[in-house]
């Protein structure tokens, strides 16, 4: 008898040991690709606190302006690792929470989870080489907050989280890399490759968010209206990555509208 997709995924999503969670996911993902799960869409999703680090309000977290010491370098890398770990949970949660969707939906978000795990492990390995690990510093819960607020609405989840906050990561990527490259630490040689991998994969992830936002929304739904509804989240970087965003599915006109919306021109 096939095991239930959603029940098995729930065990992984809420597992407290990060590396056991990754191990379980890898096994689950191989089984999924081998068509070994049954989709019982009557399964009722739960929602639980799911952080592996100490959480602070974003305004209380001191962010290094440059990587002028091993500690500041580790803090910058840790903040990115936290985003990647949160993105694992967001992709798993989308696959787990939303029911009665085409198989492609579950294929897409499990693929995203798999790639986010690879990003996290690259960053964790780099932290380890500096003498640190994920969980050594505080982090904010902005992504987890967005997960909770959009838990009952697929269009909102796709629009705010995967088309919105993940796209903001496209904006941040080159600036974080520039900050990391202010270090003289020998580990600096790894950064360009890691952040290029992350950027290229995140473009694909945002494109998936764009596809499923368009799938789930009503015909007359406006993305700017969604931005206004969730005004606690700013979904555009101060300097946005136009090239990456267009590759991910945004149009030039929409980017200008978003810029006008957030900067109130």
Residue 97 pLDDT > 60: yes
pLDDT recorded at residue 264: 72
What mean pLDDT comes out for the span 28-46? Answer: 96
The pTM assigned to this predicted structure is 0.95
Please enumerate in sequence order all residues whose Cβ is within 8 A of that of 109, keeping only pairs 6 or more positions apart, or say none. Answer: 91, 92, 94, 95, 208
What domains can be seen in the chain, in order of their start residue? 1-41 (no CATH), 54-263 (1.20.1260.10)
* pLDDT level of residue 157 (50, 70, 90 thresholds): very high
43 contacts 52 by C-beta, under 8 angstroms: no
The residue assigned the tokens 């499990």 is: 110
H or E stretch covering 166: helix 166-180
* Separation between Cα atoms, residue 225 and residue 183, nearest integer Å: 42
- Whether the CB-CB separation of 174 and 212 falls below 8 Å is answered with no
Q: What is the pLDDT of residues 39-83, one digit of tens each?
A: 999 999 999 876 666 665 555 566 777 778 999 999 999 999 999
**E runs forming strands in the chain:** 3-4, 37-38
Please give the Cα distance from 54 to 125 (Å, whole number): 20
Residue 139 has a pLDDT of: 85
Question: Taking each helix axis from N to C terminus, what angle separates 166-180 and 191-216, rounded to the nearest 10 degrees?
Answer: 170
pLDDT at residue 221 is higher than 90: yes
């Amino acid at each position: 008898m096939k095991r239930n997709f959603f029940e098995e995924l729930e065990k992984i999503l809420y597992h407290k040991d990060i590396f056991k969670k990754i191990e379980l996911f890898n096994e689950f993902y191989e089984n999924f690709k081998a068509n070994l799960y049954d989709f019982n869409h009557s399964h009722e999703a739960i929602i639980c606190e799911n952080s592996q680090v100490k959480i602070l309000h974003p305004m209380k977290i001191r962010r290094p302006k440059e990587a002028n010491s091993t500690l500041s370098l580790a803090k910058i890398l840790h903040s990115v690792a936290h985003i990647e770990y949160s993105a694992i949970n967001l992709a798993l949660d989308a696959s787990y929470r939303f029911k009665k969707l085409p198989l492609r939906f579950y294929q897409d978000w499990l693929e995203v989870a798999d790639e986010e795990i690879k990003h996290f492990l690259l960053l964790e390995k780099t932290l380890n080489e500096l003498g640190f690990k994920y969980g050594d510093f505080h982090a904010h819960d902005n992504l987890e907050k967005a997960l909770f607020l959009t838990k009952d609405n697929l269009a909102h989840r796709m629009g705010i989280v995967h088309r919105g906050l993940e796209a903001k990561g496209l904006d941040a990527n080159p600036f974080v890399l520039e900050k990391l490259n202010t270090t003289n630490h020998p580990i600096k040689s790894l950064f360009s490759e890691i952040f290029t991998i992350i950027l290229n994969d995140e473009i694909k992830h945002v494109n998936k968010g764009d596809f499923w936002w368009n799938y789930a929304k009503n015909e007359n739904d406006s993305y700017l209206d969604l931005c206004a509804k969730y005004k606690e989240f700013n979904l555009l970087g101060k300097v946005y990555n136009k090239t990456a965003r267009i590759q991910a599915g945004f149009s030039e006109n929409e980017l200008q509208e978003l810029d006008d919306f957030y900067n109130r021109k």
